[in-house]
Each structure stands twice: as structure tokens, then as C-alpha cells.
Amino acid sequence: MKFRFAHNNFNVLDLEKSVRFYQEALQLKEARRVAAADGSFVLVFLTDGETGHKLELTWLKDRKEPYQLGDNEFHLALTVDDFAAAHAHHEKMGCICYENEKMGIYFIHDPDDYWIEIIPARS
């Protein structure tokens, strides 16, 4: 028996705003979109174009209030080949929410306040 990662899910309030954020901040591309026949939900799967892993953004029609993310520190983590350029880009976007210079990483947050760890590519 062998298990492999397929995707992670984030529920979002404004689907198109979130899709734009992930495209601008992380250069993710929409791979697939699934809409319920009754319009109750839309799923958008984003890809980095290199790995098989996807980020699924879920929009629920009846959800109006922000999601309570709690105190757990779950997050996505992505590596980047040009850490300094990525940091400058995210700084310009105003989405850096935490930096740990000692560890050489930082976090950005999306429109729903999910955190994404940015890690320099290491050889």
C-alpha cells in the first residue's frame, strides 16, 4: 500500500480574490474548476506546474462570515529559487505577516488569513 499527497484545501470567502492572490503571490495557476450543479459550491484547484500537489480553494455559497482558523499553526510551505526577489515581491504586496530571520524563512497570509511559509531552495 502506498499513499501520495494529492491536495490541501482552504475554504475561502471571495474565490476570485483568492485565486488572484495565489496567482500574483505564488505564480500558481488554475488547473481545474468544479461547480456544483445547484450553485452551492465551487472548487478551484491550483498548481505550481511542476509537482503533482494541488491547493484546492473551496467557496461555499451560503458562507458569509470569516472562517475561524483557531490557534493551530497549520500552513502551506513553498520553496523558492530566488528568496530575495520573492521577499521583495511579497513586501511590495504587503502580505508578509511573520519573519524568522534566524531560520531564514518568512510567512505571507492570504485574503482569508491562511499562512504560507516561504523557504529558500537549498541544495
Cα–Cα nearest to 46, from 36, 56, 38: 56
> CA 76 to CA 88: how far, in whole Å?
20
Buried b (16+ CB within 10 A) or exposed e, 16-37: eebbebbeebbebeeeeeeeee
> CA 47 to CA 27: how far, in whole Å?
9
> Which member of 24, 56, 91, 117 is catalytic?
117
> CA 22 to CA 54: how far, in whole Å?
12
Whether 117 is catalytic is yes
> CA 59 to CA 48: how far, in whole Å?
20
Active site residues: 117
